[in-house]
Structure 1
Amino acid sequence: MSAAPLSESELRPEPSVWDPLPDWAVPSVKGFVAEDLDRLPGIPPHTELIDGNLVFVSSQTRFHTRMLSLLERELSKAAPDHLRVEREMTVKLGRRQRPEPDLVVLHAHAAADLMRTFYEAADVLLAVEVVSEESEERDRKRKPFLYAEAGIPYFWRVEYESGRPAVYVHHLDPAVRGYALTGVHRDHLRLRLPFDLDIDLTEITRI
């Protein structure tokens, strides 16, 4: 014997018992501003603000996680005393721009306040993005444009190419307020700027 089909009211709860959408799920016509990331209740961790729109982080691959661990460790070891390395902190670039680089190298005085939730663009010397499939358009195009426009001197984009990392190193050209590619590094990342570095990129297979 077959069961009787459920009525529409049984399939769908009454509107009065629906859970209301959180404020961040319904943006205003003006979009969000940088301060909203600190005051919207229940917002997902690591939410970014780009062009007034909230951007949510997807699950990451092992390559992404290992690459971040390697770069964070090696940059921290090599950085001079007046610099610090931070992972996954937002940077306020403007009223409607507050992206979250995967890593930043910043001036030590900016990291002194342990309760702050973001950095200013002027605090940051280097921004690093490890590209994932979901974020490739933002990491390759929009975010470096915003970092350059805000005056961040150095930008690295890390790609997974043919089973190994490739680090695209960029330096800001202040005349055009844009980044110039200064090199692509595989296996080893050897640089003199922003400070002396020699990183064995193949170590991600041993972390």
Structure 2
Amino acid sequence: MQYFLRRALLLPTLVAVTALFLGCGHEHDHEHGPDTHTHGPDERGDGHSHYTSTTENPAFTYLAMNGEFHLNPGDSMSQNDPRNPGRLQLTTDEEAGSLTKMVFYAHDDMDQKMAECGYEFVGSRPDPHYFPDQSKTSIWDVFKKVEDYSGDCMPYNYVISRSPHGDPIHMHLRYGEDVEALLAMSNDEEDSNFNPWWATYCDIDRTTACD
């Protein structure tokens, strides 16, 4: 009898403790439903990753650097910025020691290949404008060029990417000679030269805006 009384008294406590631990599970720091995320009138990127309640932030986002992408349809900030390649082809696999291959096409001609280059992933860096106060998922993946396959890879010595994410899938990309300078662009003043630089890319088959 005493055994059953003790179990009866402990039961509410166990329920309360279990509820406490369940309530402390991982939560998404930043979420958007399909109709809650908009850009300003100039369509600049907002620096966030878009994970829904059914999509987990992958542990290694750079492994998502796969597929073919083009500039976000209807996004004038991406479409009109001459720095942005018009089309990207990305190949990444999980094989140890393998490189990420990136193919860049001309801004105004998606059939004109500019360069095909091989990259080593060298780490991730927080966005200096958005992280952490506005978004804890605002993280860039950093790639260093280690192989020139064809074309002129010199302009693409470093690539930083908000690697493909979200639904609909999209990504952001910058390239240049210096990682610190590329990251610092997030703090640039808005101007008529498409700054801050937030090129947005959608899946190659998408005909409507993806971000």
Q: Shared fold (TM-score greater than 0.5)?
A: no
Higher helix share: 1
Larger RCO, structure (CA 8 Å, separation 6 or more): 2
TM-score range, shorter chain: under 0.3
TM-score, L = length of structure 1: 0.26
TM-score, L = length of structure 2: 0.26
